[in-house]
Amino acid sequence: MSISMYQAFIPGAVRALENCMEILNKVAAHAEARKIDPSVFINARLAPDMFPLSRQIQIASDTVKGGVARLAGEEPPKYEDNETTFPELIARLRKTADYLKSFKPAQIDGSEDRPIVIKMRSGELNFSGQNYLTGFVLPNLYFHITTTYAIARHNGVDLGKKDFLGKMD
């Protein structure tokens, strides 16, 4: 049995965003319990040339909202990228998850061969829908969610693999 584009994308992406919300809740609780300014975590990086935690969240959000819109043949919505607090970052993830949930399978299924063009600073990237999903959208989503987890863990937040994976249904 084959898996549809919708099933390959939406349930896992929503789960990743929701699990990341829980990670951010733990980071916020950790900061509060230890009386650490939350901005220390929001601006934390693993290396000086990496984006901070806040930008990791924004990119994960942008990647999947752009991904679902392009696969459905729509223009991606624009978000401000101005979140500076945990509640704002969590709200962004919630807004993105809700946006993903608003799509029906019929809008995504059959997009395997849809031409997708992404304009980057370095030039255009051209994909088929399936290659875009499996070779760009999903790897970028998981990279930025994993990096968020790693930044939090590196800075002493008590997290484990179960926090990344979430509850097993």
State pLDDT tens for residues 67-82: 999 999 999 999 999 9
119's enclosing H/E stretch is strand 115-120
* CA gap 16, 125 in Å, rounded: 25
Q: pLDDT at residue 1 above 60?
A: no
Q: For residue 126, what are the β-bridge partners?
A: 117
What per-residue string of b and e applies to 32-42 under the rule 16 or more CB within 10 Å gives b?
A: eeeeeebeebb
Residues contacting 124, CB < 8 A, separation 6+: 117, 118
Dihedral, CA of residue 102, residue 56, residue 139 and residue 76, to nearest 10: 40
Average pLDDT, the chain: 96
User: pLDDT band at residue 120, thresholds of 50, 70 and 90?
Assistant: confident
In total, the chain counts a number of residues equal to 169
Distances, alpha carbon 131 to alpha carbons 51, 69, 103, 109, 111, in Å: 26, 15, 20, 14, 10
**The model's pTM:** 0.95
For position 60, what pLDDT does the model report?
98
Superfamily of domain 5-160: dinb family like domain (1.20.120.450)
Angle between the 5-33 and 53-71 helix axes, to the nearest 10 degrees? Answer: 160
Q: Where are the domains of the chain?
A: 5-160
